[in-house]
Each structure stands twice: as structure tokens, then as C-alpha cells.
Structure 1
Amino acid sequence: MSIHERQFADPALQAQLDQFLSDQGARIARLEHKGRCYWAKKGETLSLRWRIQKGDPMEAFRADVAGHHALADAGVPVPEIVAEGEDFIVTEDSGPTLSTLLVEQKADQETRLQAFHAAGVELAGMHSKGLSHGRPAIKDMCWDGQTISFLDFERFSPSRNTARGHMHDLIIFIHSIYGFVPKDIPEAEAAAEGYRSNDTTGTWDRAATWCRKMRWLDPVTKPLQWGNRVGAMEFKAIPLTLKTFGVR
């Protein structure tokens, strides 16, 4: 079946999708019908200035969709695609993101620990298949109470399906946790343990070696770690990330 034909048979749900597609300013929309929730997504509409700075939005969108299909075909947990076209995709809801669980404390700690541990396990599983996400931040992972699903594959590329790409994935994953909550937390420990105990590719050790070489990042960025200005959280996460990989 052509992707042009993969729309909704239900007129009420299709009407919501049509409204979203006709809104040039919308990029993501929540569709609800008969007690079920879906997420529609399309490429950004950018001015010339932003296109120069950010690149072709449709190229990024196509990379996102290609990555979604590639990971789904490999058995990596991603949301099910229920409709798509050349300029849009609709997926089933897969629960709140891990960043939402962590920051808004929407679940009890036992549930959060289970979710973050599962995220580490699934990322290790992806790498064991020879695949890399590209940017597996916790805002791009969902938890439905039983299963982790990966989202947003704009940085997916076959060129990243390497040992180095896996290493970068792992470091980004851990760093993203501390980027939301810059202190020692059990959720970060659970995520690290989930990955480390299921690492079949030696990625954890490569990441630890890389972090030891990059220990200078902490003292160099110390002034940027102070205060609560925009962007400080990412710098505050650096020493905690290095510590997770054994840098003291």
C-alpha cells in the first residue's frame, strides 16, 4: 500500500488529521477518538532565516520517518505507525515521556525506577542489533507502564550504526537524565544499571574510557555550571555524567 493511502477510514478521526495538516503553524497534534490517543507529526515550516540556520525541515522529517521504520523493522520498540504520508506521520500514544515522569513526579519512585531501568535495557538491546538512535534523550522515550518506546529519529543515520555511535548514544542518554535533574538520583542509577547489565557490545567500557579522556570538560565548564540561567542545566550535568562512568 502506498503511504499516500495510509490515512484513517474513520471520518471523525480523519477530520482531525485533515485539520492538523491544513494548519501550517502546527507541527505536532494530539488526536483523540473513542478513548484512544494518537500523535500526528509533520515537518516544520520555517522562514528562510531559520532554514539557513537549521537546515531543510523536510529532510529532517524524512530522516525521522526512515529511522522509525528501520528501528521498527529491526524489532526495536517504537510507537506503532497508524497513518502516514510524504509529509506527515501518525503514531499511537505510548505513554508519558521519561522526562515528564522524572520532572513532574507523575509516578511513584518504584515505577520511575522500573521505567528508567527498562530504558537502559532497551537502549542496550538496540545497540546489540547494531543500531544507534542518534539522540536518545529521556524526552524521546515513553513509558506506558510496561514498555519503553523510542521517539524522534531526526538524527538517525546508518552512518551512526557503529561502536562509536553506540557510545555517543549511551553518553547522551545518561547526560540527558542529569540535564533535567542535576543531582545524584536513583533513576539515573537504574538507567545505568539497566544498560550496563545488558551490554553485549562493550559500549559501557568505551564510554568510560572516553569520559576519562574528557575529564577536563568539568573544570573548563565550571563557570557555566553556576546559576540558573538558560542552558546551565546541560553544563551542570557534565560532572554527574562523568561520575556515572567512573571519573572522580
Structure 2
Amino acid sequence: MNLDFKKAVDQAIAAHKDKRVLSFSYEGQDYFIKRKISNHRNAFAKQSVEGAFWCEVYKIMTVNQYFPLAPEIALLQDDYFVMKAVGKTMQGVAKEAPWQDCRDRAYKLAGISLAKLHEVGLHHGRPALRDIAYNKETDTITFLDWENEKRFIEADPRVLDLILFVHSCLREHWPDNHLLDEALKGYTVSFTGREMVRGAKALIKSHPKAFSLCKKLRVFGWRDVTSLDDTRKYLEEIPLA
């Protein structure tokens, strides 16, 4: 262990005692520290603090045994871990001008990378755009925030990954679905990706009352509800051979 590095991390934590996630730099490299403390979100939708922390560590280490689609853990302690910074979130790629020339590539690669994860039987848990980063210099995708494991419906978690990814894109209310289309082009190159699309279609078909209710509730303009109905329509319309 680099004791100077650990000392710098501990000093950063001491300076921001109430922060769960914080950034800092060490010898020209940017890092993020994630601590084992509550984020004060709805506990109904989350695991315990202890469970979420070690779940994320385990999933990151498991994924990185196959391919580098999770952050590199530079330091692991009982109450925090430190990750190397990895790039711009997909939300930023879609919105910010410096990323305009590589948006299509980034979203297609995000789809390819999600399919790669699913091909080996792994899943993320909530691949929202804020939890996926693109590094323009290395042309790589990294999935962030691996702590989500609670599910409220019995289904293949990879199918739920796909639905949540599409929902996250449609929740942005872009003027068109071009970037989402690029991501799904990348995702469905894989046989497993196409099978997950079939699984998503089947899941929607098996819960007609829930999705019909979302359609009826569109009138209220609730963002997550309207985006879920849009997700249903988008997935139903994907052509598969």
C-alpha cells in the first residue's frame, strides 16, 4: 500500500466529513472516494449501507476479472474505497458541446459494452446515463455505481438493465431518439442483446395492467411514468429477425 496515497485520501475525507462521494487529485491523477455512509435516499429502494457498500465492491471486482467495464479500485478500506476517475457521463456527452463529434460513437459503444456485460451473465443493476462514463481519449465505456441490487419484479436482471437503460434515455426528453437508436444498434449486434430485447418485450406483454396504467397516467405528465410508457412503446417497436 502507498501510505502517502492513503494519507492524502484520509485528509480529503477529514475535510469533507459529511460527503459520501468526493473527488480529489493525487500526483496528477483524478480519483473519487466512496464512503460507507448513507446517501439519505429512500431506504425502501436501497439495500442497507453495509450491504450496498460490499455489494458494489464485489460486483466491481467480479466485472473487472472479465473486462475493464467497471472503475479501477485504487484503494479499498473497511469504510471506503477509492476509484480512478474515468471520463464524462453519458448525460454530459449528450448535452455538452465538446462531445458533439463523438456522441454517436459513445452511445453505440455504451450499447456494445452493456451487451458484453450481459453475454457473460453479469448485470449492472441500474445502467442510467449518469452511471455510465465515456473516455474520449481511450474510446472506452465504464459503468459506475454498482450498488443497486433491489428488484421489485421477478425477471432476468439483464432484461431489467435494458429496460432501465432505455428508460433513462427517454427520461431526458431529447428532440429525437437518435442517440438511443445508436445504443440499441450496438446492443443488438450481440445475440444476447437480441435475446434481452425479446425478454423485455415478453416482460411488457406479461404485465398488461401495469403498462396500461402508465399509459392512462400520462395525462398527469409525471416524468418517470411517461418515460416508462415511452419505454414500452420503444421496445415494442424494435424489429427483430
What TM-score results when the alignment is normalised by the length of structure 2? 0.82
Is 1:60 matched up with 2:41?
no
Structure 2 CA distance, aligned partners of 1:153 and 1:43?
14
1:30 lines up with 2:23 in the alignment? yes
Q: 2:37 corresponds to which letter in structure 1? A: E
Query: Within 2, Cα distance between the matches of 1:65 and 1:177?
Result: 26
Partner residue in 1 for 2:117: 126
Aligned residues: 232
Whole-angstrom CA distance in 2 between matches of 1:205 and 1:15 = 50
Which range moved further: 233-242 or 167-176? 233-242
Q: Secondary structure of the equivalent of 2:88?
A: coil
Contact 2:20 2:39 in 1 (8 A): no
Residue pair 1:215, 1:242 contacting (<8 A) in 2 also:
no
Structure 2 counterparts to residues 119-158 of structure 1, below 5 A = 119-145=110-136, 146-156=139-149
The yes-or-no answer on 1:208 pairing with 2:201 is: yes
The 1:33/1:227 distance shift into structure 2, 3 A limit, reads farther
Alpha-carbon offset, residue 88 of structure 1: 0.9
Encode CA deviations 1:79-113: one digit per residue, 9 max, x unaligned. Answer: 211111111111111101112222445510x4111
Instruction: Out of 192-201 and 164-173, give the one that drifted further.
Output: 192-201
Given residue 245 of structure 1, which amino acid in structure 2 is its aligned partner?
L
Distance 1:102 1:224, change over 3 A: farther
Aligned CA-pair RMSD: 3.0
Cα deviation for residue 14 of structure 1 reads: 3.8
Match of 1:112 in 2: 103
1:41 partnered with 2:31: no
Residue of structure 2 equivalent to 1:238: 228
- Which of 148, 163, 170 does residue 171 from structure 1 map onto? 163
Contact kept, 8 Å, 1:116 with 1:188, in 2: the verdict is yes
1:129 and 1:155 mapped to 2: Cα distance? 19
Looking at structure 1, the residues matched to 161 and 8 of structure 2 have their Cα atoms a distance apart, in angstroms, of 35
Match of 2:231, as an amino acid?
Answer: T
In structure 2, relative to structure 1, the CA distance for the partners of 1:99 and 1:52 (3 Å cut) is: closer
Give 5+ residue unaligned stretches, structure 2.
none
What's the offset of the Cα at 1:184? 3.2
Q: Distance in 2 between matches of 1:147 and 1:66?
A: 22
Structure 1: which amino acid aligns with 2:233?
A: K
Deviation at 1:16, TM superposition (A): 3.5
Which residue does 1:220 correspond to in 2? Answer: 213
8 Å Cα contact 1:212-1:247 kept in structure 2:
no
Q: 1:16 to 1:194 in 2, by over 3 A?
A: same
Within 5 Å, which residues of 2 pair with 1:14-25?
14-22=6-14, 23-25=16-18
Residues 76 and 131 (structure 1 numbering): CA distance in 2 closer, same or farther, change over 3 Å?
farther
**TM-score, normalisation: structure 1:** 0.80
In the alignment, structure 1 segments of 5+ residues that lack a partner are 1-5
| 3-state SS in 2 of match to 1:32 | strand
Q: CA offset at residue 130 of structure 1?
A: 1.1
